[in-house]
Amino acid sequence: MNFRDSEEIAGLMMEKGWELTDSPEEADAAIFNTCSVRKHAEDRAISNVGALAPLKKKRPGLVIGVVGCMAKAHGRKIIDRVPIVDFIAGPANIYDIPAAVDAIMARRKDLVISTDKVSRPYIGNIAYHTSGISALVTIMEGCNNFCSYCIVPYVRGREVGRPADDIIDEIKALADNGYKEVTLLGQNVNSYADKSGVSLNDTSQSGTSPFTRLLGRINGIEGIERVRFLTSHPKDASEALFKAMRDLPKVCEHLHLPLQSGSDKILKSMNRGYTASEYLKKVELLRKYVADCALTTDIIVGYPGESDEDFRMTEKVMREAGFNSAFIFKYSPRPPAKASGFDDDVPKKVKEERNQALLRLRDKMSSALDREFIGGETEVLVEQICRKEKHKVSGRNRQNIKVVFEGGRALIGAIKKVKVSSVVGHTLAGTALLALLAAGLPLMPAAAETIDEYFVSGDYENTVREGVKLVQSYKEKDKLYYMIGTSLNKLGRYDLARKNFNILMDTAPKSRFAPLAQLGIADSYYLSSDYKNARACYEKYLSKYPKSEGGAVAYFRLAKCAQKEGNWQSARNYYQKVKSEYPMSFEAQTASDALRDEILFFTVQVGSFNKKANALRLCDELVKKGYEASIVKSSGDTEESYKVRVGRLGDRDSAEALAKKLRAEGLPTKVLP
Ligand code: SF4
């Protein structure tokens, strides 16, 4: 909800002619949207605001605001703690923010405190969303549940539903603008009732609720392909909801159902309104209707009075429920929530141990459930190009799990079937299925020349698909295995690629394609991030085929492996080797660039600017002061930025020392890499 609030605040400011920047140095106003749910989040917010002190000293005209739940909860005390703050505004006062900024800029006021409203006058009418594919849509504000540990009802007020027609109009407009997915937001979406006052218990349209009826209406909106929602309270998530999830094809198979604790004693003290066995029964019912539904949750450890036995019950319920993922929090008192008056009696060390134990359990469970996707197909809504691997795209499947596969910008916004081949962390990796395969159209085996054409034109799917049909009849089997192996590497099917390269090397060790196959095996390890095996295979290649043309590539990749493993001296040596032994190669030029590039050194970033002139100004100032400063241009998906970096240091300690010195001069610092 906070993320959507930030979007709304950005939208409100943009409506008044403001532009967004991610660089504090460039900003005329900095607005911190804060969360009060944990103490840790508040402490982080205060330290982020405080970090702007040097900038505010340099530019007293910079307007600094703290908004959101923390502003409502602490009011003026925030300004006592961080005097550089010019205004504060609670979650229900976000529409006052542009006026507050104006008043301070025009110095009509020195300070604005805007925390009087208990609920928003209207909800979610700002058409600004950070993604062009998937949008957050607020359907209600506030909460009536008063869980003992939670501050939300105090800072966001009581439940107020947004009129259903408004929600539908907003989603239709999103669909017209190309959005494919909406996530409906509310503290407890299952108790949604629109302003007409229709209550949760109104099941006059048998077996439905106002929320499921809303889901039904959204399901009918043309252009919207997927509907998600957050958050569901276990006491209110009903059979009607699970049936709707089963029957409405656009509603995704993912439910976030906060458990909080597996102990009935603790659940009662938390005022959650259900027992552990009632929770598990809900999960069972959900799975009866939506068998492939992913389930995620929130859990608090170290709540007042939580004994070892209570904690063990939480572990037990976690195992029984089978969560795909979970957010685990250490309890901290949040006045004025009821539990803040209880004795916070679980020692910090015990909270930490329980937190770690649940994180380990969660990771084990997630990874086992993620692996169940391997070998199967999953439907992905493509959202973006991968940040690090620009030849790949990422998106989420219907279970809300991230999926990565090879593809380009043209796929963004498309829904693709992906065959999952591996799991990296909590991300599924795979290959998009071809339209023809998806349509199940069998093809006649292609002629040999056609396979060559497929390969040369970069059509790797067809090279493999048709190539394997020709293995018996193809005259140059070694060449065919080479083409299939190389294509499989391109398609991310590394194990299969190695299999084909190994057949080539076993059956035709003297073939002109054998060195390429050895290189292909090394590449398959490199591309799957197995740098240890990649290194061994590139070294084998260099000793077996010392005069081969692929030497430049092998040394270059050895440098990359060393870099990935953090062995920079070795990386520099390999890059030097490429330059000296293969000076005319393509890799030599890239190696020179890499040797010049700060990535082989530690450096301190002191600013990132959208305008080159601003970066130049700071860079000049630093050079005048005797620093070795430079500008690195970086291209994001939508815009370019200019980063000012200082120093090229051989070790992290020296970089940290430099960062400290620069911080003392009021500069924000980030040690890279
Ligand atoms: S349901 Fe409980 S935990 Fe969730 S917002 Fe409401 S009071 Fe807080």
For the chain, list the domains and their CATH numbers. 2-114 (3.40.50.12160), 134-371 (3.80.30.20), 377-437 (2.40.50.140), 468-596 (1.25.40.10), 600-672 (3.30.70.1070)
Would you say residue 18 has pLDDT above 80? yes
pLDDT at 635: 61
Q: Which of 187, 232, 274, 327 to mutate to test the pocket of ligand 1 (most atoms within 8 A of CB)?
A: 187
| pLDDT score for 110 | 82
Measure the CA–CA gap between 551 and 585, rounded to whole angstroms: 10
Average pLDDT over residues 176-188: 94
**pLDDT, mean of residues 193-197:** 66
Is 133 or 596 the better-scoring residue by pLDDT? 133
What is residue 440's predicted lDDT score, i.e. its pLDDT? 37
Strands 254-256 and 226-230, by their bridges, are: unpaired
Say what percent of the chain tops pLDDT 70.
92
Buried b (16+ CB within 10 A) or exposed e, 534-571: bbebbeebbeebeebebbbbbbbbbbbbbbeeebbebb
The pLDDT value recorded for residue 132 is 82
Q: What is the CA radius of gyration of the chain?
A: 29
Residue of higher predicted confidence among 434 and 126? 126
Higher pLDDT, 44 or 597: 44
Percentage of residues of the chain with pLDDT beyond 90: 50
The residue-averaged pLDDT of 162-167 equals 92
Do 260 and 300 meet the contact criterion of CB atoms below 8 Å apart? yes
Output the pLDDT for position 538.
95
Measured distance CA(27)–CA(13) in Å, rounded: 13
pLDDT over threshold 50, residue 598 = no
Least confident of 156-160, 205-209, 268-272, 427-431: 205-209
Confidence band, pLDDT 50/70/90 cuts, at residue 442: very low
Q: State residue 555's pLDDT score.
A: 93
Q: Residue 438: is its pLDDT beyond 60?
A: no
**CB of 605 within 8 A of CB of 644?**
yes
Best mean pLDDT range from 34-38, 305-309, 511-515: 305-309
Dihedral in degrees, nearest 10, Cα atoms 41, 44, 50, 54: -140
State if residue 407 touches ligand 1 by the CB under 6 angstroms criterion: no
Q: Which of 54-58, 77-81, 84-88, 653-657 has the lowest mean pLDDT?
A: 653-657
427 CA distance to ligand 1 middle (Å)? 29
**For residue 286, pLDDT beyond 80:** yes
Ligand 1 geometric centre to CA of 556 (Å): 55
Q: Mean pLDDT throughout 576-583? A: 86
Query: Across all residues in the chain, what is the average pLDDT?
Result: 87
Amino acid 186 reads G
Q: Whose CA is nearest to atom 2 of ligand 1?
A: 147
**326 C-alpha to ligand 1 centroid (Å):** 17
- For residue 294, what pLDDT is reported? 97
How confident is residue 198, by pLDDT bands cut at 50, 70 and 90?
A: very low
Q: Which residue's CA is the nearest one to ligand 1's atom 8?
A: 150
In short, whether 147's Cβ falls inside 6 Å of ligand 1 is: yes
pLDDT score for 182: 97
Confidence of residue 126 (pLDDT cuts 50, 70, 90): low
Confidence of residue 37 (pLDDT cuts 50, 70, 90): confident
By most ligand atoms within 8 Å of CB, the mutation choice from 147, 148, 259, 270 for ligand 1 is: 147
**Is the dihedral angle over the CA atoms 403, 405, 407, 408 positive or is it negative?**
positive
With CA atoms as reference, report the closest residue to 417 among 430, 426, 399: 430
**Does 462 or 502 have the greater pLDDT score?**
502
pLDDT value for 597: 59
